[in-house]
Structure formats: structure tokens, C-alpha cells
Amino acid sequence: VYAYVLWGVALGVGQVLTRGEDGQRALFLLPALLFTIAMVVFPTLFGFYIALTDWNLSSFSGRKFNGLDNFWQMLADPYYRNALFNMVLYVLAVFVEYIIAFGLALLLNAQIRARKFFRVV
């Protein structure tokens, strides 16, 4: 969805720059631009800000900047490393499955003598 919104904004900006009626065309782009900022840009920047702070939600003055300490703690946690290892294994397994599926698709589409046999099996 984000790629389509970005593509639409880029296409619209290109048309605004190449043709007349700049103000009217820019107004049509404004909702897509605001949607992109509200749903993608702001949450990304705010999440990065939260990741760099030690934020206590139970007090008003609970925000304290701690830099990359949260990331170092996360990397030192054995549960996180186990989860990361499992995720890497899952990604590799899916990649191997795609390779096998692509090979089978090529085999089923090939002009070989046993083509009908492979399609049935």
C-alpha cells in the first residue's frame, strides 16, 4: 500500500511540475501526502525516538535519553538471540522452499518426455 501511495505522489508531483494548474493539482496530492506522513513517517520517527529513551509511562517526567543502551541490552538477552536465530532459520527455510517450488515449476513446464508424469505426481 505504501508503495502505491508513494508512486501516486511521485506521479502526481511529476505532472504538477510538467503542466499548469499547479495549485489545483497540488491540492489533489495533499490527502495522499498527509496519509503517508500520518501513517508511515510519524510512527517511524516516533518509534525510533522511543527506542533511544528509557521511558517510564507511570510518571510525567519518565523520559530519559539513553542512546543505544536499549539495543545493547536486547542483544545481550539470550531469549532475543534465540528468537533472532529462529527467525533466521525460518527465513532460510522459506527461501529454500521458494527455490524448490521454482525448480518444480520449471520441471512441470519443461518439454520433456515425463512431463505428464510429473504433472500427475
List the chain domain ranges. 1-68, 77-121
pTM over 0.85? The answer is no
Each residue's pLDDT, cut to its tens digit, for the chain (121 residues) gives 667 776 677 666 665 555 556 667 777 788 888 888 889 989 999 999 889 988 887 877 778 888 899 999 999 999 999 999 999 999 999 999 999 999 988 888 878 887 777 777 7
Locate all alpha helices (DSSP H) within the chain, ordered by sequence: 2-18, 22-36, 42-51, 69-76, 78-109, 115-120
Cβ atoms of 89 and 77 closer than 8 Å: no
